[in-house]
Homo-oligomer: A and B are copies of this chain.
């Protein structure tokens, strides 16, 4: 497994943050020559993500470590299931342990939450992430969303346009004019437009919006609104957003929307519980 350089850099930074090369406990107690075997085991059901981050942590602390992955990026894991077996220097495994787990648990938490959301909304609705990511982990979190069955929304402020209320307020143009202007100035980028009313959604689509973000429409209204929009714009892409949690997600089934963007997948998903066991080895 070749490790991407943003993964390597994030892991380097985390190891420095943890002063992993200067583990006072290991230096005091564990002989330099001692070798060990370790195992990462799931303590809950979920979807695995971040294996490359964990691998990078172990390799960074012991360049000759042997890693045997028993589950891979995106795999569903069960409570008690073994995920990784590793063999290397005892000090290296101890130094890497916390950093490896911190990445793996965080990212698997995102993947697991995404998988639950995907199951809740059903096949017809695509689950998207947002830019509400943990600073420094955007790439890892967005990959975790894919591993959990979701799809990535725009990567950053540069690669797509998304017109929201604040942009309309600050543009000094009326709604339709702003959409047309954005489309013309987009340089070929995708242009999404937030709509607060059906009328705005119509204007946005007329002006060539690549997708419409229906914001804060009541779930009960959505089927009728979506139906009318599709009748007029058969190729329209309809997205909903805002406050949809797991409990309410099933309500999106049959609403006629194409996709839902969900902030909490990346800003509030709880970590997946994982344990790390070590024992002396030859």
Contact = CB atoms under 8 A, between A and B. Distances in A.
Interface centre among A14, A24, A105, A139 (most CB of B within 10 A): A24
Interface of A: 2, 4-7, 10-31, 34, 36, 60-63, 89-92, 94-95, 97-99, 101-103, 105-106, 109, 131-139, 146, 151-152, 155-163, 166-167, 169-173, 178, 181-182, 185-190, 264, 267-268, 270-271, 276-280
B170 A90 contact: yes
Contacts of A22: 4, 139, 157-158
Contacts of A63: 2
A198 to B, nearest CB: 23
Given A23-B157, A25-B167, A279-B169, A268 B270 contact: yes
A89 B2 CA distance: 10
A26 B167 contact: yes
Contacts of A60: 5
A190 B151 CA distance: 14
Contact of A280 (B25, B161, B172, B185): B172
Contact of A2 (B12, B92, B151, B155): B92
B187 A146 contact: yes
Contacts of A163: 25, 29
Given A188-B152, A271-B268, A13 B166 contact: no
A167 B28 CA distance: 10
B169 A135 contact: no
Nearest to A178: B29
A7 B16 CA distance: 12
A144 to B, nearest CB: 13
Contacts of A166: 94, 97, 276-278
Nearest to A4: B21
Contacts of A105: 132, 267
B264 A18 contact: no
A29 B170 contact: yes
Contacts of A190: 190
A2 B159 contact: no
A19 B158 contact: yes
B136 A28 contact: no
